[in-house]
Amino acid sequence: MDRRSFIIEGGRGLGAISLGIWIANGCKSREASGLNEMFSAETISLINEIGETIIPATDTPGAKAAKVGEYIAVIVQDCYAENEKKEFKDTLEHINEVSNASYGYSFMKCKEKERVQLISKIEEEYEGFKSFKNLIVSAYLSSEIGMTQFFNYSPVPGKYDGCTTVRPW
């Protein structure tokens, strides 16, 4: 066997192995919690429900439809420092503690009216909730739903007209 055919056959063999590995890994289901070691599926669902209370579905989809929980879970895991991660988890725990103290059950079991009252109460009393709320709003506005359905989105802008009454919000 000469060098050229050896390189060609070796490349084919490596390609076949790589393709097999890629196919095997591609068949695994990837849920949001599978991509995130820090948050369980229940915690991501809790974040989505809190987001839906802050940004409910109206004529545009709400925070749950924009999957703010998945976005926030990735941001917190990948971008936050350890003390910020602890503060974020403490905020989630505080929400459930206040819910248990006020209604006798967790935030997930509250009715919509109770959730709104609870979030309003926490917003007034708990200082750490402001950054949590800002993160939810940022996640919503960064999502496809927020950019295309909340804002007046034009994928291909026309000519520049500085004297227009149309605003993106």
Three-state SS string over 48-63 comes to HHHHHHHCCCCCCCCC
Confidence (pLDDT) at 165: 74
Indicate if the pLDDT at residue 26 is higher than 80: no
Q: Percent of the chain scored above 90 by pLDDT?
A: 51
Confidence (pLDDT) at 150: 83
Q: Phi/psi class of residue 158: alpha, beta or left (left: φ > 0; alpha: ψ in -120 to 50)?
A: beta
Distances (CA, A) of 43 to 51, 93, 118, 159: 12, 10, 18, 45
Question: Hey, what's the torsion of the CAs at 149, 154, 160, 163, to 10 degrees?
Answer: -30
Segment 52-81 shows an average pLDDT of 92
CB 31 within 8 A of CB 41: yes
For the chain, the domains span: 1-30, 33-150
